Amino acid sequence: MITLTPQQEKARQRITQWWSGENPETTLTGYAGTGKSTAIATIINSLGVKALYLAPTGKAAAVLRAKTGKPARTIHSVLYTAVTHEEPRTGKDGKPVTGPDGKPLTISRITFEPRAYPHDDVTECGIIVVDEMSMVAKKEAELLRKQGKRIIAVGDPGQLPPVKADPGFIPRYIDLTDIIRQEQCSPVLEIATRVRNKQRPGRSGTSGDRARLGVEYLEFFTRPDRQILCWRHQARWASNRLVRTMLKRTAPVPEPGEKVSILRNNAMYDVYRGQQYTVKWTDYDTGPAPHKIRACLTDDDGTEKTIQMLTSGFIDPQGEMQAEQQGGDAKVAATWGYTITVHSSQGSEWRDVLVLDEPLARPRDRRTMDRWLYTAVTRATNRVMIARESMVV
């Protein structure tokens, strides 16, 4: 039986009182290392209600499953359904294309649309638990509220808000601030706490030593359980190119063993934006068309998935934008995954993380900068390294 800390117990009592009332939603917030996942699982058990655990991304859902021991899925999977549309096929001149019989040809396109009826998992549950609430945009939050279930939104008030969208959940309380005993000696959490308290990360002591980092450290972070994070997309592309050069990867498309990141949700292949995979094999040379390749990808659990992947997302930033626009149906939009932005990393965790701190790209708003660095640091479970001077140009 899990014994809650005094703060966690106080949060449990507050939420139990909320559950006995009629307010449709509440929040449970706490900083990194305060035991939010343990607390929410214990609180739900004490309420004696069946909960549906949701997270914004597939990686976040996997982390939630690991921490709570409960089934978890993405918000997108319960709110949206894939709908197939038949559209006229057009040629390069923009005119409709006809078949041998003179009839117009059509092409099937798959889009995601809000479900007309609640998902079975929503119908069967008594309460919805939304993790990583700082990532949830207002649009998705409103759709969740329309499901007719009471909601507990869980998150860290120190993390970044949604990208280009208003936040869907506003913290009403900061429940948990005390680091739980088994986490008190964590160097990662020491750095995170310093950043949260508006202090710079320590240069020596238990939080780490100051040292000069060479570009060779980029190669150290190419394993699936390690990740490089940065602020700007420009630095992301430069870092990914440098890593591939160091690894002596010369093909214009991913080779076996390389990391890729999904750019856009795709219902046909059941992949979602932000998911990361390792390439097992590709058949670029014998593929059906030069603009796409057939590839076998594996996730962190070793599950394999064979897909058709657009090549434009691996060429340059412009090609990546093109892939995002054209991805869907039978074509997956993806790009290099060695380095990703901190915004894209939210909800995910890796054993070791290297943060490329870009002085020239820092926002003038100190609060935003602190939240960015705090979010980056708390993606690591074992070790975080901060490169104060950019390794990439």
Q: Could you read off the pLDDT of 261-272 as tens digits, one per residue?
A: 999 888 788 888
Q: Which residue type, as a one-letter code, is found at position 77? A: S
> What average pLDDT score do residues 31-58 get?
93
Token match 């690991």: residue?
A: 66
Among residues of the chain, what percentage have pLDDT more than 70?
Answer: 89
pLDDT over 80 at 115, yes or no: yes
Give the residue from 170, 229, 255 showing the smallest Cα distance to 354: 229
- What predicted TM-score, i.e. pTM, was given to this entire model? 0.83
Q: pLDDT tens digits for 318-334?
A: 999 999 888 877 789 99
310, 320 contact by CB (below 8 A): no
> What average pLDDT score do residues 217-221 get?
75
Strand runs labelled E in 243-357: 259-262, 276-282, 292-298, 304-310, 334-336, 339-341, 350-356
CA atoms within 13 A on the CB side of 179: 17
Q: Cβ–Cβ contacts within 10 Å for residue 174, how many?
A: 14
CA distances from 32 to 3, 17, 42, 53, 183 (A): 19, 25, 18, 19, 10
> What average pLDDT score do residues 160-169 get?
87
pLDDT over 70 at 181, yes or no: no
Predicted confidence at residue 220, as pLDDT, reads 78
Predicted confidence at residue 271, as pLDDT, reads 85
Predicted confidence at residue 149, as pLDDT, reads 97
- How many angstroms separate the CA atoms of 27 and 133, rounded? 9
Helices (H), the chain: 6-19, 36-47, 58-68, 75-79, 120-124, 138-145, 187-196, 216-220, 233-246, 317-326, 342-345, 366-377
Predicted confidence at residue 187, as pLDDT, reads 82
Predicted confidence at residue 204, as pLDDT, reads 42
pLDDT over 80 at 364, yes or no: no
- How many angstroms separate the CA atoms of 345 and 274, rounded? 8
pLDDT-derived band of residue 1, with 50, 70 and 90 as boundaries?
low
DSSP code, position 328: B
List, in sequence order, every residue forming a beta bridge with 305; answer none if it has no partner. 297
Q: Which residue has the higher pLDDT, 391 or 251?
A: 251
pLDDT over 90 at 176, yes or no: yes
Q: Which of 95-104, 314-323, 359-368 has the highest mean pLDDT?
A: 314-323
Predicted confidence at residue 184, as pLDDT, reads 61
- Residues 256, 259, 264, 266, Cα dihedral to 10°: 40
pLDDT-derived band of residue 133, with 50, 70 and 90 as boundaries?
very high
